[in-house]
Amino acid sequence: MSDQQYPMCQGPDPDPTPPIFEMPNGAVDCHAHIFGPESKYTFSPARGYTPPDASLESFLALHRTLGNIERAVLTQPSVYGTDNSCMLDAVEKSGGKFLAVVAVDANVSDKELEYLHARGARGARVNIVDKGGNPFDGMGAVQKFTERLKDLGWHLEVLIHVHEFEDLRATLNALSVDVSVGHLGYMRTDHGIEHPGFKEFLDLVRDGNTWVKLSGSYRITTLESTPYHDVTPIARALIEANEDRIIWGTDWPHPFLKGNMPNDGALTDQLADWAPEETVRRKILVDNAERLYGFNHV
From first to last of its 298 residues, the chain has per-residue pLDDT tens of: 345 678 999 999 999 999 999 999 999 999 999 999 999 999 999 898 999 999 999 999 999 999 989 999 999 998 999 999 999 999 999 999 999 999 998 899 999 999 999 999 999 998 777 555 566 777 888 999 999 999 999 999 998 999 999 999 999 999 999 999 999 999 999 999 999 999 999 999 999 999 999 999 999 999 999 999 999 999 999 999 999 999 999 999 999 999 999 999 999 999 999 999 999 999 999 999 999 999 963 3
Three-state SS at 104: coil
Catalytic residues: 251
Comparing CA positions, the residue from 214, 208, 156 lying closest to residue 185 is: 214
pLDDT per residue as tens digits for the range 56-114: 999 999 999 999 899 999 999 989 999 999 999 999 999 999 999 999 988 999 999 99
Per-residue model confidence (pLDDT) at position 132? 53
pTM attached to this predicted model? 0.95
Residues 6 or more apart in contact with residue 140 via CB below 8 angstroms? none
* Contact predicate 122/99, CB 8 Å: yes
* Contact predicate 273/19, CB 8 Å: no
Partners of 157 in the beta sheet?
125, 180
| Domain 2-10+20-293 = CATH 3.20.20.140 | yes
Comparing CA positions, the residue from 150, 149, 155, 181 lying closest to residue 168 is: 181
Per-residue model confidence (pLDDT) at position 133? 52
Cα–Cα distance measured from residue 148 to residue 155, given in angstroms and rounded to the nearest whole number:
11
Comparing CA positions, the residue from 132, 135, 147, 142 lying closest to residue 165 is: 142
Cα–Cα distance measured from residue 20 to residue 272, given in angstroms and rounded to the nearest whole number:
8
Write phi, then psi, for 246 (nearest 5 degrees): -115, 130
Comparing CA positions, the residue from 63, 79, 75 lying closest to residue 33 is: 75
Give the Cα-Cα-Cα angle 149, 130, 243 (nearest 5 degrees).
Answer: 55
**What does the domain layout of the chain look like in residue ranges?**
2-10+20-293
